[in-house]
Amino acid sequence: MAHRKKHAPRHGSLAYLPRKRAAIIKGRIRHWDTLTNNDTFQGFAGFKVGMTHITYIEDQKNSPYYGKELMKPVTIVEVPSLILIGIRLYSTDDYGKFIVGDIFTKEINDFITRKINVPDYEKYDFKKIKNDISKKINETSEIRGVFQTQPYKTSISRKKPDIIEIKFATSDPKKSFSSLLKKLGKEIRARDVFNEGELIDVISVSKGKGFQGPVKRSGIRILTRKNSKVQRAVACIGPWHPARVLYTVPRPGQLGFHQRTEYNKRIMLIGENEEEINPKGGFIRYGMVKGDYLLILGSIPGPKKRLIRIRKSLRPRSPFITQSPEISFINRESQQKK
């Protein structure tokens, strides 16, 4: 009996391979929480400001430091309100999701024309489009809001907004579609989506470090001077057979500017008064925070000024108590060199 070659998808994850540059700088959310139906948007977006540190009282009972005062680093993300410029309806078939229809507001500002071609609203039949989409909604439909960011409300020196989609979690798509139509053209704030003390996921593109060698990229050992013709490289990149270089061999290539997702980062504070956070002289390579901001426990990927996508936690920790932490101190010392 002749041997037949086996064809099958590979087993297991390749982790972060291939380590190439991200396709889009604003990050991409591939998955949303499908279990919650709390009639709210599942995410938000902001701009990374920098880091500082706080002291707070540990409120998680499963922590060995429960009830004690801790000092921890936090990342500041400025979150100016997002404008809901459209509603998009998705349906699912055997091949995945596809767009059923979308409807956009007529109240579009001048900044959005730098990003997209605005339709001719004299010919835009809002009522007809609304009725057509309403007829196509069923129990399995997925509603997403099309949002416009407002970087011109921050210290970032750009006016062109980002266009992003955020899923709306609902148990009744028809009812939610009608309620979202009333919010078209209006602003959504971070406090309308998240609560203090809540766990979130952060999606962003990391700092780009360019084309680097295998020592910096993969952490291999530097060879001795007489060992080989090279020192900062892999001396033997593979056997005779298989007669190819395997993907597991450390090689030079792109380092950084990769999309990364960090799970279960905690929101310590949703601030509205920028005077409580701004140091004297502002943040290095960013400037002053001018509006709403988040304090997120720990570090997050990406350099300052980069767009940060925030999502409701996809893998929530258990047990975890969602409550507003008691913050006793926020460091506001100037970060400028003395």
Judged by DSSP in three states, 294 sits in strand
Query: In whole angstroms, what is the distance from residue 182 CA to residue 177 CA?
Result: 9
74: region left, alpha or beta (phi > 0 left; psi from -120 to 50 alpha) = beta
338 pLDDT more than 60? no
8 pLDDT more than 90? no
Residues 129 and 194 in one domain: no
Answer for the pair 146, 163: CB distance below 8 angstroms, yes or no.
Answer: yes
Q: pLDDT tens across 150-202, in order?
A: 999 999 998 999 999 999 999 889 999 999 999 999 999 999 999 999 999 99
pLDDT band for 2, please (50, 70, 90 cuts).
low
Task: Answer whether residue 50 is part of any domain.
Answer: yes
The pLDDT value given to residue 289: 96
Domain hosting residue 228, numbered range: 212-240+248-253
CATH classification of the domain holding 225: 4.10.960.10
pLDDT band for 38, please (50, 70, 90 cuts).
confident
CATH classification of the domain holding 165: 3.30.1430.10
Residues 122 and 149 in one domain: yes
Query: In whole angstroms, what is the distance from residue 235 CA to residue 309 CA?
Result: 41
AA identity, residue 82: L
Task: Answer whether residue 144 is part of any domain.
Answer: yes
Task: Answer whether residue 7 is part of any domain.
Answer: no
DSSP structure class, residue 336: S
Mean pLDDT of all residues in 301-311: 97
Which residues are CB-neighbours of 259 under 8 A, at least 6 positions away?
Answer: 22, 27, 28, 203, 204, 205, 206
Any idea which residue has 């007489």 for tokens? 226
The pLDDT value given to residue 63: 93
Residues 178 and 228 in one domain: no
Return the percentage of the chain with pLDDT > 70, whole number.
Answer: 98
The pLDDT value given to residue 318: 87
Residues 157 and 306 in one domain: no
138 pLDDT more than 70? yes
Total domains present in the chain: 3
Could you give the count of Cα atoms lying within 13 Å of 302 in the half-sphere of its Cβ? 27
Task: Answer whether residue 100 is part of any domain.
Answer: yes
Residues 45 and 193 in one domain: yes
Residues 296 and 262 in one domain: yes
CATH classification of the domain holding 314: 2.40.30.10
Mean pLDDT of all residues in 44-68: 96
Residues 273 and 216 in one domain: no
Residues 283 and 316 in one domain: yes
**What stretches of 139-219 show up as alpha helix (H) in DSSP?**
173-181, 214-218
Query: In whole angstroms, what is the distance from residue 216 CA to residue 224 CA?
Result: 17
Task: Answer whether residue 3 is part of any domain.
Answer: no
Task: Answer whether residue 228 is part of any domain.
Answer: yes
- Of residues 34 and 302, which shows the higher confidence score? 302
